Structure 1
């Protein structure tokens, strides 16, 4: 395993000291009440027992509003206010809030994993295994999925296949982002945030009635700028910085008892320099040529040393229209229409030295349209959903690798290039019914038919200058059922079991002249319990699951070509625990834990780094990015003083060791990690202002988010992306 310690910057405070400081700050409110509060508390204890209970948590994971405890599947709800309070700015840091959720970023592309199933490919045209929805509409391109983290009402994390309820199918689960809707009352907020690394962030929204009783509007804006977590030592420019602007406008109509609608328009743009970080070489006997010729890598893992103008930009515009008709007292028709236009540019360095050898230029343009209809019927003894779905996407993309000077100055052509255009069309029909067999027993049945068509044209250029033309046309379809049963033991306890099949469409990597990759399918068995105990003061939810993946899609670099192949089979078993306990009226404990055993059952392939001509049986190796255990525990304490109130929170998150490729190699590995997060929120009496002091990764752990083992062409260099270092700041908020 590579020792990174010599390349890390030093910290001024030890881990134990920082832990004590954070806990002391968050728990200080336990012992500093006002005298009036002490008297009142003593009187209350003497006079009556506490009547505080956990709040009812509402979700829409089954396409209808219901209590989380009534949903017979594994779902986690994350409140938008919690994201703001805890200083969570984006998708990457969401993983500490839900069990068996792992998120990394490579080349500006989020890679979301749920229960060990996720995006293993960063080639153009890849398809995620976890669906990502914003206000009910799917965002298909993985690199575009970080654009909606502002003015968020809630995020729902759905684990396991969801095909009989959602238009766009996926095998791992779904992340559903719900933004705040316009209301008839005038309301809004403004959050001003400042922090280390020069962070400046403004998020604001305002809304209210435009036409009384008919039209309501809301507009939200987010502007965020931050210096880099590192620098390019060659030119002093920031590395891994932020510079984004986002605007969302919403218009709702509620002027009829039988019809309502919501229109949302979002613009998002960012211009930042994210890059790989050179962390070493995979083989001690092979040194990348640029280092042999005297190129020097950066002396800190968060820095780089490149002659390239590292940078990247994203520009997204999307429109979503939701319409709902009440056809009768028991029947509704819902429509979700979405249009999205997205462009991304990225330039990264593949050698980490100032010598001109390999620079990676990526371009991706996507335009997609989707239409979904849902027909809902609430019968006397059943709740039924029928759905129709259509999706169309046009992608224009390229990956261009600039080579050493002979290619750029003499031959005037790229060293490698993958480019092309692809069109995808998807059709689906799905049905889901929950039958009320008795007052306590329900049966859920569902079925989905999916049909996907893809065609593309393009070219692949190799170092010799030979150009391979590409023209492919493929279609796939699948029929995937769902069957579940749930039993209500009492008003506070429900048990359930379900079987669901999932399907992920086949893949054509743009500019790759290998054959199209077959679809990925899963069958998932899940059993669980949802409970509220001790007079609604303890919520205890547990799920056990066993999943088999067939034809799993895995990417491999072969001679400079990114090849996606079908691994034969993988087996996944695990258990998840989610707990909320109201220990006292003012103290809340949250504890999440997960055990995951995700392994290849059959996969024979060659290790292109060490033994490229020898086939290996990888049965028993863990799936990429699938830690065996995860746990997070948090304490939240509320204190009410004479002129203000304090809500303090401290969280400790543990993630077991994990590998980033299928070979279980120390060259692509992150040891177990622990992260400490905390915040203290002050709200002032008779005031619309609040102050929030927050900090994340307070012990300043250096954590690898992803490691890419490059091909022999680049000398098997190890290129990594990193989780954020210690960050802290102050947020001033005004609400009205």
Structure 2
């Protein structure tokens, strides 16, 4: 408890330190100094599908600037580097770089199935990325990142009861511009990216962006009889995006986008008997650059997509938008799931497991199509609106394999599943400035979702034989809505309040290797209450956002993972409640020192007296009541939902001559303890995690060139970030410290 209180106290002290100099400066500085002081740019967002000031948007949101994105990704990190860097956001994966799982305000999904549905929607260039493998597309050459918290069931709607993360690529412009950077670091880490864009004739412009990331195989497999490669945890990843823009008409614009990704590397490394029995301490002798496994381990992923965004100016006050998207993915990932090479009862040393488990999941066929038409008004008067139609269609086929590790890795299990998902919606929203000081917003969306699912096991690893074809065809309709008001206290401060609902369509789980049935989770619905303040302080030298919220979720879809029989199934909780607050603060404390600070508190609770799941079959110390071999979940927090998240960045600049500067940039992210599963066990509770970064560099040529030394996870704090609840206390850990050097050129 003492450690937790000290870190919360530290965060409060940081906040006080950030505020005190700025307040003192405002009180003491003469008018001439204030006139010359550096100020923040007006923050403009598209969180409500139209361009507007963030201060005027009645919803809690956080943006990430391009410099911060570049710093966080300099060590070759994937999209998970955003975890904890935004209040109320967590991102984790038991699938490695390929399959990120997002959580906002505690709401997410721990399911590792390639067909898993998530309550956080990721929208990349205005196209929803529904399949989890699509959500991991690399972060590079972006114009903006916005996280919009709470239900977004009106304007986005596609499975968004927790919120939306929006990425927008840097667009082609009429001037020749671009950048290039190369970073090299420890463990053979390489990060190369660049972009170039400019005009193509009178009416067209284009932009091409590329990324290449690599890490060497830095984990040694100490098992002398391993069938996999002796060195692990490396990867090669590349991605590219090409955009073509037409703006030669006063009434018509078009933006075309083609993008692709290729990943070849190591699947997530599981480590048998990682935890000390009865605690969440890592076992004595644990070394993150060693593992002992006997199964094969690899991961391959290819994605491809294209979209077309068209707009027609029908009149001075009305614009029609069309957004057409296509996405596809193909993957195969195989791993030693038990994480060991010695099989004993009971397993009691690092690398020891109760039984061998080696499996693979493949996505041989996948494609997603989406189409949206949206009308938007642009009146000079107090009333504006937007309305649209949305259509989504996805086809997916999944192969699941199991292998007999002790027989040389021969295949001894196979099952497949196929799903067709069609959804369509009609939506609209209004924005009415009732007075100069008060604006009312409201929205409504009708959604229809239909799924056709079939699955079959043809080969059983436990001798159960084949199953017949098992089918499920759930469907549902829903009407989501939101109402919000914005009160302008003065030119610098706005207050807002919002009530919103959200919806997630029925989900299906059909992993049949170790089970004989398909599980279906009913639709979940959420209602959320939120209020906050947004302010521009100290003559635009600082910006503050603060929100409090409470939500109630009916029939929440949850995933009971693994357990003694290693079988996943979907369940619904009668009710889940959550409440908390979030803070975003940006400020120039001096003209040379820019800081950002974020914090969030999320208290979640499952309320269902009868809901129970199968815990691990032995070895772990279950702290929930156990009745009939099942752990009761009533009162538990949601998994992977830290109560506290803090983040801080600080950038200090010292000019050198007329066109150069020396800079120091540091970033820190903290999250408190998390449960790995729905049930609570002493071993399966991740300890708090603090990760920091440091960047020291020199820039010249008025920002054209830069060279810097960087470090990621500079404290080298290694924690378990997830687990597999077999009987051998298997877990996996975060990434180690990476140190390197980078050169960047802008043109």
What is the TM-score of this pair, normalised by structure 1?
Answer: 0.87
C-alpha distance in structure 2 between counterparts of 1:77 and 1:686, whole Å:
26
How far apart, in 1, do the equivalents of 2:375 and 2:63 lie?
25
The answer as to 2:164 corresponding to 1:165 is no
- Taking structure 1 as reference, are residues 257 and 669 closer, same or farther at Cα in structure 2, changes over 3 Å only? same
Matched residue, 1:456:
453
Contact preservation (8 Å) 2:133, 2:329:
no
After TM superposition, the structure 1 stretch with the greater mean CA deviation from structure 2, 451-460 or 350-359, is 350-359
Q: Aligned partners of 2:339, 2:542: CA distance in 1, in Å? A: 51
Gaps of 5+ in 1: 1-43, 286-295, 711-715
Q: Deviations over 1:143-166 (max 9, x none)?
A: 221213121222111111112111
Report SS of the residue matched to 2:55. Answer: helix
| Alignment match of 2:640 (pick from 600, 625, 640) | 625
Q: Structure 1's 60 and 47: CA in aligned 2 closer, same or farther, altered over 3 A?
A: closer
Q: Is residue 636 from structure 1 mapped to residue 651 from structure 2 by the alignment?
A: yes
1:377 aligns with 2:377: yes
8 A contact 2:525–2:554 mirrored in 1? yes
Q: Kindly state the Cα deviation for residue 408 of structure 1 after the two structures are TM-superposed.
A: 6.3
Is contact 2:509-2:519 (8 Å) kept? no
Work out which of the residue numbers 265, 272, 289 in structure 1 matches 2:265.
272
Partner of 2:541: 537
Deviation at 1:190, TM superposition (A): 0.9
* Alignment counterpart, residue 608 of structure 1, candidates 608, 612, 615: 615
Could you say which residue in structure 2 is the equivalent of 1:55? Answer: 41
Counterparts in 2 of 1:444-523, with a 5 A limit? Answer: 444-460=441-457, 461-462=459-460, 463-469=462-468, 470-512=470-512, 513-523=517-527
RMSD: 2.5
CA deviation after TM superposition for structure 1 residue 112, in Å: 0.6
Instruction: Assess if the C-alpha contact under 8 Å between 1:134 and 1:148 holds in 2.
Output: no
Q: How far off its partner does 1:297 sit? A: 13
* Residue 250 (str. 1) matches residue 250 (str. 2): no
Matched, 1:555 2:559: yes
Name 1:391's counterpart in structure 2: 392
Task: Out of 190-199 and 230-239, give the one that drifted further.
Answer: 230-239
Q: Decide which moves more: 652-661 or 686-695.
A: 686-695
Aligned match of 1:16: none
Q: SS of the counterpart of 1:182?
A: coil
Distance 1:323 1:47 in 2: 47
**Structure 1 position 650, deviation (Å):** 1.7
Query: How far, CA to CA, are the matches of 1:281 and 1:678 in structure 2?
Result: 30
Instruction: Return the alpha-carbon distance in structure 2 between the equivalents of residues 618 and 458 of structure 1.
Output: 29
Does 2:68 align with 1:82? yes
- Measure the CA separation in 1 of the matches of 2:627 and 2:466: 24
Measure how far apart 1:223 and its partner are: 1.4
Distance 1:254 1:150, change over 3 A: same
Structure 2 equivalent of residue 593 of structure 1:
599
- Distance in 2 between the 1:192 and 1:494 partners? 42
Match for 2:195 among 205, 218, 233?
A: 205
d(CA) in 2 for partners of 1:562, 1:48: 63
- Residue aligning to 2:686: 670
1:630 deviates by 1.5
What secondary structure does 2:695 align onto? strand
State the Cα distance separating 1:48 from its structure 2 match. Answer: 4.1
Deviations 1:158-193 (A, max 9, x none): 111112111523111111111111111111111111
CA offset digits 1:685-720 (Å, max 9, x no partner)? 36732112221110100022222213xxxxx23332
Residues 46 and 267 (structure 1), Cα distance of their counterparts in 2 relative to 1, 3 Å cut: closer
Aligned to 2:53: 67
Could you tell me how far 1:612 is from its partner in structure 2?
7.5
- Cα distance between partner residues in 1 of 2:408 and 2:473: 33
Can you list the C-alpha shifts for 1:198-223, whole angstroms capped at 9, x where unaligned? Answer: 112211111111112x1101111111
Cα gap change, 1:524/1:686 in structure 2, threshold over 3 Å: closer, same or farther?
Answer: closer
Counterpart of 1:348 (choices 308, 322, 335) is 335
Structure 1 residue 523: Cα displacement? 0.8
- Cα distance in 1 for partners of 2:387, 2:502 equals 18
TM-aligned CA distance change 1:387 to 1:47, over 3 Å: closer
Match of 1:526 in 2: 530
Q: Report how far residue 283 of structure 1 moved.
A: 10
Q: Where does 1:676-695 land on structure 2 (aligned, <5 Å)?
A: 676-685=692-701, 688-695=704-711
- Residues 163 and 430 in structure 1, CA contact (< 8 A), matched pair in contact too: no
**In the alignment, which of 642, 651, 668 is matched to residue 652 of structure 1?**
668
User: What TM-score, normalized by structure 2, do the two folds share?
Assistant: 0.86
In the TM superposition, what whole-angstrom CA distance separates every residue of 1:74-119 from its partner, at most 9, and x where no partner exists?
1111122321134353211112321010011112321110000012
- The answer for unaligned runs of 5 or more in structure 2 is 1-28, 343-354, 618-625
Q: Which residue of structure 1 lines up, in the alignment, with residue 231 of structure 2?
A: 238
How many aligned residue pairs are there?
A: 675
Q: Cα gap change, 1:188/1:608 in structure 2, threshold over 3 Å: closer, same or farther?
A: same
Deviates more, 1:363-372 or 1:456-465: 456-465
Q: Distance in 2 between matches of 1:79 and 1:601?
A: 38
Displacement after TM superposition at 1:256 (Å) = 0.5
Aligned counterpart in structure 1 of residue 80 of structure 2, from 92, 107, 115: 92
**What SS does structure 2 have at the residue aligned with 1:81?**
helix
Shift of 1:326: 0.7
Q: Deviations over 1:602-653 (max 9, x none)?
A: 2520333255834544222111111111112222212111152123222232
